[in-house]
Amino acid sequence: MSIWEDLGTVPHALSYVNVGGVRTRVLQAGSGPDLVLLHGTGGHLEAYARNVGGLAESFRVTAYDMVGHGWSSLPDHPYTIDVLSAHLVGLMDALGIARAHLSGESLGGWVAAWTAAHSPARVDRLVLNTPGNIANKPEVMERLTASTLAAVTDPSDETVRRRVEWLFHDKSLVTDELVRLRQAVYTRPGYLEAVRNVLVLQNPETRARFSWDPSWVGRVSAPTLLLWTDHDPTGGLDEAKMLLGWLPNAELTVISGAGHWPQWEKPAEFLAEHRRFLR
C-alpha cells in the first residue's frame, strides 16, 4: 500500500507554516478535538500516513515535521527537547490550537511528555508511543547514532533500508517508498550538518539535562496512555513499567507483533487505542 493510496480518499491540506522563523511542513485533516502527531528521531510526518484517515474521522489531526526534520527548516543549533517543545507550542500558536491531545512516537513521545510537564495548559490527553530508551542505555544511543549517521553519510538503498528496518518487527513491511522518502530527507542540502544537531540527544552529557526522570515526569497531569510493543528495540516492558510508575495518571497498553513503529505495523490497533483513550 502506498502512502498516497492511504491518503487518497482523505480530504487533507499540506502546507508550510512560519513558526518563529522556522518553515514548518504541516498536514491537517478531519474535524473535532485537536490531535497533534509527533514523529521520531530523523523522521517526518509520513510516519503517520496509515493513521491520518482513521483518526480524522474523530479528530482534527495535525502531523508535522519537527524543526530540523523532514522538510522543515534546518537551523544550525542543537535540537534539544526544550527546543523541540518550544517549536511544538509555537506551531500550535500559529495554527490557533489552544489545547490539544498529543500523540508522540519515540522522540516525539519525549517531546510530548516534556510539553505536558512544562506547558500543561496546552495538553489535554497524552499518548506516549514507544517513547524509547527510558533507562538511557548507552548501547541504544550508540546504535541509533551509528545507524543514522551511516544512512546520512552513505544514503544508498542498503544503508537507508537498514536504518528504516530497525524500526520494524516485521521487516517485510518496509516498502521501497519509505526508503526513498528517507533518502530524500537525508540528501537534502544541509542535512548532514543538521543530523548532528538531531543526534545531540544521543550524547550522554546533553541527554542528562532532559533524561526521563521522576522530577519532571511526575509533573505530567494529563491523563496518559503509554503505548508499548512486545518487540521495541529501544526498551522492554521493564522500562515501560518504570515510566508507568513515574506518571501520576497513566495506563499501559501493549501492542503485540510490532517494533518501534506500531502506528505503521499495526494501524488498526493503534487507531482503536486512540479512539478508546482520547474520546
CA dist., res. 30 & res. 17, Å (int): 18
- Residue 92: closest CA among 58, 52, 119, 130: 119
Q: Report the pLDDT value the prediction gives residue 279, as an integer from 0 to 100.
A: 82
Domains in the chain, number: 1
Pairing mode of beta strands 123-129, 250-255? unpaired
CA dist., res. 18 & res. 93, Å (int): 11
Residue type, 137: K
CA dist., res. 106 & res. 104, Å (int): 7
Choosing from 106, 147, 169, 274, the catalytic residue is 106
36 contact partners, CB below 8 Å, separation of at least 6: 62, 63, 64, 88, 91, 92, 97, 100, 101, 102, 103
Q: Report the pLDDT value the prediction gives residue 4, as an integer from 0 to 100.
A: 87
End-to-end CA distance of the chain: 29
Q: Is 12 labeled as catalytic in the residue annotation?
A: no
Domain of residue 272, residue span: 3-278
Contact 49, 3 (CB under 8 A): yes
Choosing from 39, 87, 169, 260, the catalytic residue is 260
Q: Report the pLDDT value the prediction gives residue 32, as an integer from 0 to 100.
A: 97
Choosing from 6, 34, 65, 232, the catalytic residue is 232
Beta partners for residue 13, in sequence order? 28
- Residue 40: closest CA among 276, 262, 211: 262
130 contact partners, CB below 8 Å, separation of at least 6: 105, 106, 109, 227, 228, 229, 232, 234, 260, 261, 262
Q: Is 213 labeled as catalytic in the residue annotation?
A: no
Extract the C-alpha cell encoding 127.
499518548
Q: Is 124 labeled as catalytic in the residue annotation?
A: no
Please give the model's pTM, rounded to 2 decimal places: 0.97
Contact 45, 65 (CB under 8 A): yes
What CATH number did the domain enclosing 185 receive?
A: 3.40.50.1820
Tens place of pLDDT per residue across the chain (279 aa) = 788 889 999 999 999 999 999 999 999 999 999 999 999 999 999 999 999 999 999 999 999 999 999 999 999 999 999 999 999 999 999 999 999 999 999 999 999 999 999 999 999 999 999 998 899 999 999 999 999 999 999 999 999 999 999 999 999 999 999 999 999 999 999 999 999 999 999 999 999 999 999 999 999 999 999 999 999 999 999 999 999 999 999 999 999 999 999 999 999 999 999 999 998
Q: Phi and psi of 84, rounded to 5°? A: -65, -35
